[in-house]
Amino acid sequence: MIVVLIGYMGSGKSTIGKELATVLNYSFLDLDDYISDKENASISELFKTKGEIYFRKKESQYLNALLDSSKDLVLALGGGTPCYGNNSDVLLNNLNVKAFYLKLSIPLLATRLFNEREKRPLISHLKSEEDLLEFVGKHLFERVQYYHKAEYTINTDLKSRQDVLEEIVTDLI
């Protein structure tokens, strides 16, 4: 089985994913880290030197390759992965995939992301927390239709990491 974690930047996909993999005794992969390794460049460098379209093509290509692997895996996607090309169909149509949308409210996302925006090319240009709040609001409005295609949605706002993990594990059994 491949447990796929979907959600906006800063929603905790990698943090939760690593812990979930330990609980399930599965391998863990972060799609961004995988792309960086394969392309020998950070995500910011890839955006800067090759552009977003190149990144989206590689993202799709590596997603497909990973979904073809037969081993048990927890896979944290990038925030944009389900929103481009036919990625959401590829995820939906794969019988080995269980997809979870980690949902977090816009103010919490903006607060979390503000201090980490440098390493995220889509938001690194935003100067104030208000600008970021507005950006996240609009961006999420465009993306939420793709996130909601996941079989499960976990509202993480008022939950501890342990609660989120337990909810996912319960949904899996």
Site residues for ligand S3P per CB under 6 A:
9, 32, 43, 78-80, 120-122
Half-sphere exposure of 49 (CA within 13 A, CB side): 8
Decide whether 85 or 121 has the Cβ nearer to ligand S3P.
121
Smallest gap from residue 80 Cβ to ligand S3P (A):
3
| 49, 24 Cβ separation under 8 angstroms | no
The owner of tokens 């930047």 is: 9
Smallest gap from residue 171 Cβ to ligand S3P (A):
21
Smallest gap from residue 28 Cβ to ligand S3P (A):
13
Decide whether 5 or 70 has the Cβ nearer to ligand S3P.
5
Strand 73-76 and strand 27-30: pairing?
parallel
Decide whether 21 or 78 has the Cβ nearer to ligand S3P.
78
Task: Name the H helices within 25-155.
Answer: 31-39, 43-49, 52-68, 87-93, 106-114, 129-147
Decide whether 17 or 24 has the Cβ nearer to ligand S3P.
17
Give, as one character, the DSSP assignment of residue 77.
P
Strand 2-6 and strand 27-30: pairing?
unpaired
Smallest gap from residue 163 Cβ to ligand S3P (A):
21
